[in-house]
Amino acid sequence: MAELNVSLCGISLDNPIIPASGTFGFGYEFAELYDINILGTFSFKGTTRDPRFGNPTPRIAECTAGMINAVGLQNPGVEQVIERELPKLKTCFSKKVMANVSGFSVEDYAYAVEKLDMCDQIGWFEVNVSCPNVHGGGMSFGTSPEAAAEVTRAVRAVTKKPILIKLSPNVSDIVSIAKACEDAGADGISLINTLLGMRIDLKTKKPVIANKMGGFSGPAIFPVAVRMVYQVAHAVNIPVVGMGGVASAEDVLEMMLAGATAVEVGAANLVDPYACKKIIEELPAAMAKYGIASLEEIIKGVK
């Protein structure tokens, strides 16, 4: 029988499948469709210190083998997440959840993490220093080792829970940034976030989305994600959560062979809300097909 269980930063997961932040809301929306307790865990909607309406519309554009989004971290703010969203999640999800946090200053990150740290439901923090869709925050912290390390140190100071730093692929040297985060106290690395993309409407002669550019995700970016996961996993001594264009059980195995301990599924959830459920159900057969008895053995073999 295939062994799907893995351990992420000391917390056991029944399987490595994690819906990515921004594609799964706060979980309870998907719980109307299926029992989300089958998931390893999930990363909830990116949360900031203050409420955000996000970017102007239109902010979604389809493209070949993917999509571009510039939602802009729309969320109700950390206080409302604690008071309203997490209690609703508790009614349908019994496992530890991953809290995705973003900010526009180092203090913003620390504030949100410190507030959420008090919530027993939260098992890990996924600190997003890589969002390409906001101005003055997000990716500006993830494009230099020094800035990423500064955010890491600030959140490390306010929580003892595992911290995973979510990195941007829109850099020339992903390894140096990952190592700087590890040195600053990160317990893991998540990557990749979206690439920066753009579409132009031939009829209007203008960009399709109001923000002009946005995050490019979907199957087209999978090879880039595998490459960066491989590079980082072989350079750091902390777990890597891989993501970027994952859409099948085979993709999960490939990402884990590149060095990922767990795998996030993003854009696929927006195409098919049952995507993660199907991947979990198909993993045992895919493992058998390729002679893999245990996912932990892949992890140990790569490391």
For residue 96 the two structure tokens come to 């530890």
Whether 181 sits among the annotated catalytic residues: the reply is: no
Burial tier of 136 (Cβ tally within 10 Å: 0-12, 13-18, 19+): exposed
Catalytic residue among 9, 63, 119, 131: 131
Active site residues: 131
